[in-house]
Structure 1
Amino acid sequence: MKVAIVTGASSGIGQSAAVQIAQRGVGVILTYSANRQGALDTVAAIEKEGGTAVALPLDVGRSGDFPAFRDSVVDALRDTWQRDTFDYLVNNAGFGQMSMFEDTTEELFDKLMRVLLKGPYFLTQKLLPLMADGGAIVNTTSNSALVSGMEEGYSAYASMKGGLIVLTRYMAKEFSKRGIRVNAVAPGATRTRISDNAFERFPEVIPAIAAKTALGRVGEPDDIGMVIATLLSEESRWITAQNIEAAGGYGL
């Protein structure tokens, strides 16, 4: 059985990706930070459909914890799947925070950098020796880093996601000698718990976003989770180094 690691899978896009990947017959190691119950819910949803999943704690903003996390992955692979390698990695964990350029503090900038760019960089570096040749990686970026999705207040957040888009291409180039494909998915506005549950707190923004989206609605987690699962799968075996916008035609 193939095994995937999905970071930030206690809710939203990560939770959907974990479930969609499991539905394709892949075992899942999923991570959570503060929302342990959400992670257990994800495991339960996967197990209910006959899949196998293990939830592990991980704060992607704390790279000093990565060696211990790697050890936990080794244990989970051995104990649950009798393997010493895994096949797929989804660098999804993150957070969003709007801040106008002139209001952005160094503290917020550094936190966004640690979680959204440094975290995926060094977590992938730490896990790469455990990854099987011929595997695949998907990084969750954002259409805020593309011209189509630019909105005021995301200069710091989008800069980190833009860095992750560039990193995706370099990973694809360097890992190709091992047959490992690396792609990214750039969601548009998606109904998740990002920015402290912004969609629940400010439902009035939803009609405006839907009006700017060609397909006429706000994105749902499964809209993105299915793309992530597909990019990992055999159907996408000839796709690498791409950043695929999944935003329903935002700004068309």
Structure 2
Amino acid sequence: MANETKIAIVTGGSRGLGRSTVLNLARSGVSSVFTYHSNSAEAEKVVALAREEGATAIALPLDTGDVSGFAAFIEAVKAALATLGAERFDYLVNNAGTSHHNAIATTTAEELDGLYNIHFKGVFLLTQALLPLMNDGGRIVNISSGLTRFSFPGSAAYAAMKGAIEVLTRYLARELGERGIAANTVAPGAIATDFSGGMVRDNPEVNRMVADNTALGRAGEPEDIGPMIAALLSPANRWVNGQRIEVSGGMLL
């Protein structure tokens, strides 16, 4: 009998939005193979929490900015899928990323290359490499940012990469439509995580600025995003395709 359990691959699943996504998928009965960059202890915590929710999560190390490691990662994914009793997976969430704050005038070529490798090249080529393992009728969610709609000085390079991801997502939706695969972008607003050194979470002035500029009156939390991604991947949203969905509480309306 074919394996009926849906399986997601989530990059950057050991913390923040990725962690929330893995755990909310687990609550929906979806198993996950998720990546972490270096903190295996945090990754194992997520595995244990997913188990408490009644789902299986498998953690695999991956530097999403180093394409030379993708071939070995694909083999590790195949082994993880076999552990789950499957040969293919259903959902891909490209979440892993790093922050960057620098003015256009002082951003270096090295900084730009690093952002490109992680936020565009890595997403493009990892998705490409995983597509042969994705079930027809699957779904892709790429994580962007509210910064593609509103502008804060010092975020140009980061936001431009996310803008490229939004365009890529529409093309994925168009080209993969013949396989019944839908692709959408989720663009979080400012979220209180350890991203950007915990700036929104730990700096009272930044947190207050975000709250004052958000219609719902507070900064976002990881649990504002993970459940939304899990819901977007559910069959109830099967007809949503090629869209940019901002999840910001109404920031800078």
TM-score range, shorter chain: over 0.9
User: 2-side partners of 1:127 and 1:198: how far apart?
Assistant: 33
Q: Which residue of 2 aligns with 1:204?
A: 205
User: 2-side partners of 1:249 and 1:82: how far apart?
Assistant: 42
The answer to whether structure 1 residue 129 and structure 2 residue 152 are counterparts is: no
- Identical positions, percent: 48
Q: Which residue of 1 aligns with 2:159?
A: 158
Q: Which residue of 1 aligns with 2:75?
A: 71
Count the aligned residue pairs.
Answer: 249
Shift of 1:202: 2.5
Runs of 4+ in 1 over 2 A off after TM superposition: 196-204
User: 2-side partners of 1:38 and 1:172: how far apart?
Assistant: 33
Shift of 1:201: 4.8
**TM-score when normalising by structure 2:** 0.96
Q: After the TM superposition, which of the residue ranges 191-200 and 213-222 deviates more from structure 2?
A: 191-200
The answer to whether structure 1 residue 174 and structure 2 residue 175 are counterparts is: yes
Q: CA RMSD in A?
A: 0.9
The answer to whether structure 1 residue 103 and structure 2 residue 106 are counterparts is: yes
Q: Which residue of 1 aligns with 2:146?
A: 143
Shift of 1:48: 1.1
Shift of 1:198: 2.3
Q: Is the 8 A contact 2:191 2:201 kept in 1?
A: no
The answer to whether structure 1 residue 22 and structure 2 residue 26 are counterparts is: yes
Secondary structure of 1:175's match?
A: helix
Q: Deviations over 1:201-250 (max 9, x none)?
A: 53321011100000000000111111111111101100000010000000
Residue 115 of structure 1 aligns with an amino acid whose one-letter code is I
User: 1-side partners of 2:176 and 2:15: how far apart?
Assistant: 29
Pairing partner for 2:6 from 2, 6, 26: 2
Residue 133 of structure 2 aligns with an amino acid whose one-letter code is L
**TM-score when normalising by structure 1:** 0.97
Q: Deviations over 1:158-204 (max 9, x none)?
A: 00000000000000000110000000100010011112222355332
Secondary structure of 2:70's match?
A: helix
Structure 2 gaps of 5+ residues are none
Q: Which residue of 2 aligns with 1:33?
A: 37
User: 2-side partners of 1:69 and 1:43: how far apart?
Assistant: 18
Q: After the TM superposition, which of the residue ranges 216-225 and 36-45 deviates more from structure 2?
A: 36-45
Secondary structure of 2:232's match?
A: helix
